[in-house]
Structure 1
C-alpha cells in the first residue's frame, strides 16, 4: 500500500507560493496566447505584426519576472542574506590568500622588481630568486642595510607585504648601479687627507669601466625621460654628530660587484696610512 511520508509534506507557506507561481504562469500564458491571436487576426502588415508579437512576448516575460520577484521576494531576500554571509565568511577565512594575490598583481603591474634584483621590504633584504602568486623568495644580503654579503639564508616573503609596505629596489638598471658606502672618522682625525685618498682610490678602480657606465646611464635617462646624475665617483662630507665626520662615497658599479669594489677601495686606502691623530 503506497503512502506519503510525513517528512515529505510541503509547508503551507511553500505550498501557497507554488500555487501562486503556477497561477501567474498560467495567467501570463493565457494572456500571451489571446494577445497573439488578436494581433494575427487584426494586423495586416507582416512587419508590424512581427514587431508587435516580439514586443508583447518580451513584455509578458518581463511581467512574469516581476511577478515571480513579488511572490518569492521574502525567500529571495533570505537567500541573498545567506549568500552574503557565506561570502563574508569566505573572505575572512581567505583574507591572507586574497592579499597575497593582490600583492602579486600589484608588483607585476607596477614592475616593482624582476628576478635577480636586490630588494628590501620592511627588514627583509636580499636578491630575488623566485616569484609565485603567493610569495617571493630572496637570498638574504647583509649584515644590516649597508652590507652586501649573502648570509646563506633564504627568505620567503608573502606577497601580501607588497600591498601595505613600500619596496626598495637597489638595482637601478640591469647592467650598472650606483653604490654608496660610508667611512666614519672622528673630528680630530686627518679626514681631509682621507677624503683625498678615498676619491683617488675610487677613481682608480672605476676608471676601466667609467665610460661604459656613463654611456649606459645616459641611454637609460633618455629612454625613461630622467635626468641621470653624473656617474663620476664622488666623496661627500656628513657630520651626524658633534664629534664625528662621515665620508660618503658614491660610485658606479656592476650589480654583483658592490662588495668587491668597496673592499678594494678601503683596502687600498688604509694599506699604508693611519688617518688617526696620535696624541702626545
Structure 2
C-alpha cells in the first residue's frame, strides 16, 4: 500500500507525465478496440463504421474529462487570470464553437447517420465518420449523372451545417429517379417515336419493375408526398437555340442507372434514324419507262 501511495503521489506531483500516460493508455485501448471491430474484412459495413465512430468519440470524451479533472485547479486559476482576454478568445475560437454547435444541431435533428448519402453544398457522398468537429464522407459523383464513388474522401467541418442545407439522399442508395436529356438539333415531330420508346424502356425495366413499385410506395409513405411514380416519363422542351430536348426520367436501381441510360439512348437513336434519315434518291435509269 505504501508503494502504491508513493506512486500515486509521484504522478500527482508530476501531472504532465500522468497526462501523457493517460493519453497513451487510452489511445492504445482505442486502437485495440477498433482493430477488433474492423477485423480482417476488406470493406467496412455500416455497423462497423458506427461502432468505430462511437469508440473514437467515447475515448476522446473520456480523455477530455480525465484531463479536466486532473488539471481542474490549474484551469480554475488560469480562467481567473485570463478573464480580461476572454472575449478575444471567444472571437478567435468562433469556428471551433460553430463546429461544436453544428455537431449538436446534427445530433438533435438526426438529419443523417453513418452510412447515409448526403449532399452539403456541392459535395455529395456517403457518411463514414462524424465527431464533434467534422464529418467525413466518401465522395460520390452525383452532379455528372453518375452514382459511383470517386475515391476521394472529404472532411466537412460541422460549421457548414449552419451555412448549407443538408440533403439526405439515403433512399438513392438502392433506387433513384435518373433523369437525362437527348438533344435533337433538327425541328421534327418526335412524338410518334415515344410510344415505341416507352415500350422499349419498360422492357429494359421489366426484371425489377415490381420491386421498383413497392420501393416507390415505401418512399411515398415515408416522405408523405406524391412522387412521380415508377413508370418511365418522357417530355420534350425547347432549347435556347431552337433545338429540341427530349427529357427522359426512369426509376431504377442505382447501380444500373448509367447502363440503362446508354441502352435508352441507343434505342432513341435507332428509332430517330429509321424515321427521319434521308431516303436514297432514285437513279435516272429507274425513272426511264419503255
TM-score calculated relative to the size of structure 1: 0.58
Match of 2:179? 180
Counterparts of 1:83-98 in structure 2, within 5 Å, are 83=83, 85-98=84-97
Alpha-carbon shift at residue 218 of structure 1 (Å): 2.0
Match of 2:99? 100
Match of 1:262? 261
2: distance between equivalents of 1:243 and 1:127?
A: 40
Match of 2:204? 205
2: distance between equivalents of 1:234 and 1:267?
A: 17
Alpha-carbon shift at residue 94 of structure 1 (Å): 1.9
**Does the C-alpha gap of structure 1 residues 133 and 249 become closer, same or farther in structure 2, counting only changes over 3 Å?**
farther
CA contact (8 A) 1:135 1:156 kept: yes
Matched length: 201
Alpha-carbon shift at residue 216 of structure 1 (Å): 2.7
CA contact (8 A) 1:136 1:157 kept: yes
Alpha-carbon shift at residue 164 of structure 1 (Å): 0.8
CA deviations 1:23-60 (Å, max 9, x no partner) are: xxxxxxxxxxxxxxxxxxxxxxxxxxxxxxxxxxxxxx
- Does structure 1 residue 226 correspond to structure 2 residue 225? yes
1: distance between equivalents of 2:200 and 2:161?
A: 39
1: distance between equivalents of 2:197 and 2:115?
A: 30
**Does the C-alpha gap of structure 1 residues 118 and 268 become closer, same or farther in structure 2, counting only changes over 3 Å?**
farther
CA contact (8 A) 1:189 1:275 kept: no
CA deviations 1:59-97 (Å, max 9, x no partner) are: xxxxxxxxxxxxxxxxxxxx99973x5432232222222
Match of 2:169? 170
User: Runs of 5+ in structure 2 lacking a partner?
Assistant: 1-78, 280-290
Alpha-carbon shift at residue 244 of structure 1 (Å): 1.9
User: Runs of 5+ in structure 1 lacking a partner?
Assistant: 1-78
Query: Which shifted more, 167-176 or 146-155?
Result: 167-176
Counterparts of 1:63-102 in structure 2, within 5 Å, are 83=83, 85-102=84-101
Moved over 6 A (4+): 79-82
Alpha-carbon shift at residue 101 of structure 1 (Å): 2.2
Alpha-carbon shift at residue 163 of structure 1 (Å): 1.0
Question: Radius of gyration: which is bigger?
Answer: 1
Which SS does the other structure have where 1:90 is aligned? helix
Match of 2:125? 126
Alpha-carbon shift at residue 176 of structure 1 (Å): 2.9
CA contact (8 A) 2:124 2:142 kept: no
2: distance between equivalents of 1:170 and 1:80?
A: 48
